[in-house]
């Protein structure tokens, strides 16, 4: 993965708001317009109201008028490989083709790359509603 996406996701990690889980997460989305949109998990004292980093990044992208993701990076603070949760795989697939790369990163850098279609095979997509 290119350094700009890696830098973006690592920089964002510092802004995660995860006082309850203690598990900061950041996401960076490269969009078709060439911009990178970042987001972090934002937890809440009412636990179910928290949102994932990927969801925050998607909101930033859509609010900017963009709806096409061409590359995805996520970063967690733990030692394990972090891939998007099930709900976020579905949210990402709304705006990203199955072929889009998902890079799992950590504070130290890139760890492993996946393909969104492998993380969410045979997905339900907007095409089903046409
Ligand atoms: N989290 C994300 O932000 N993205 C994921 O894909 C996995 C989980 C967050 C949600 C919660 O704030 C914390 O990680 C622990 O589950």
Q: List the pLDDT tens digit at each of the 130 positions of the chain.
A: 999 999 999 999 999 999 999 999 999 999 999 999 999 999 999 999 999 999 999 999 999 999 999 999 999 988 999 999 999 999 999 999 999 999 999 999 999 999 999 999 999 999 999 9
- Ligand 1: residue whose CA is nearest its atom 10: 52
User: What confidence score (pLDDT) does residue 114 get?
Assistant: 98
User: What confidence score (pLDDT) does residue 77 get?
Assistant: 86
Q: Which atom of ligand 1 is nearest to the CA of 88?
A: 6
- The boundaries of the domain holding residue 98 are 3-123
- State the Cα–Cα distance between residues 55 and 30, nearest whole angstrom: 14
If we measure between CA atoms, which residue out of 74, 123, 75 comes closest to residue 97? 123
* Whether residue 75 has its Cβ less than 6 Å from ligand 1: no
Give SS3 for 123. Answer: coil
CATH of the domain at 112: 3.40.140.10
Say whether 71 is catalytic.
no
For residue 75, the CA-to-ligand 1 centroid distance in Å is 10
CB of 21 closer than 8 Å to CB of 31: no
How many domains are there within the chain? 1
Relative orientation angle of helices 86-95 and 53-63, to the nearest 10 degrees: 20
Question: Would you say residue 128 lies in a domain?
Answer: no
* Whether residue 71 has its Cβ less than 6 Å from ligand 1: no
Question: Would you say residue 111 lies in a domain?
Answer: yes
- Give the pairing type, strands 69-76 and 96-106: parallel
CA angle 99, 101, 102 (to 5 degrees): 130
- Ligand 1: residue whose CA is nearest its atom 4: 52
Question: Would you say residue 58 lies in a domain?
Answer: yes
Q: How far is CA 43 from the centre of its chain?
A: 16
Question: Would you say residue 87 lies in a domain?
Answer: yes
């Amino acid at each position: 993965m290119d350094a700009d996406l890696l830098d973006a996701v690592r920089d964002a990690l510092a802004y995660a708001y995860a006082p309850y889980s203690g598990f900061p997460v950041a996401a960076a989305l490269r969009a078709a317009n060439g911009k990178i949109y970042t987001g972090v998990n934002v937890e809440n004292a009412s636990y179910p109201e928290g949102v994932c980093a990927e969801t925050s990044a998607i909101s930033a992208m859509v609010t900017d008028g963009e709806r096409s993701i061409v590359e995805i990076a996520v970063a967690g603070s733990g030692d394990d490989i972090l891939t998007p949760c099930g709900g976020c795989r579905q949210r990402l697939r709304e705006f990203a083709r199955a072929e889009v790369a998902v890079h799992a990163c950590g504070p130290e850098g890139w760890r492993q790359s996946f393909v969104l279609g492998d993380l969410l095979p045979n997905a339900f997509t907007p095409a089903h509603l046409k």
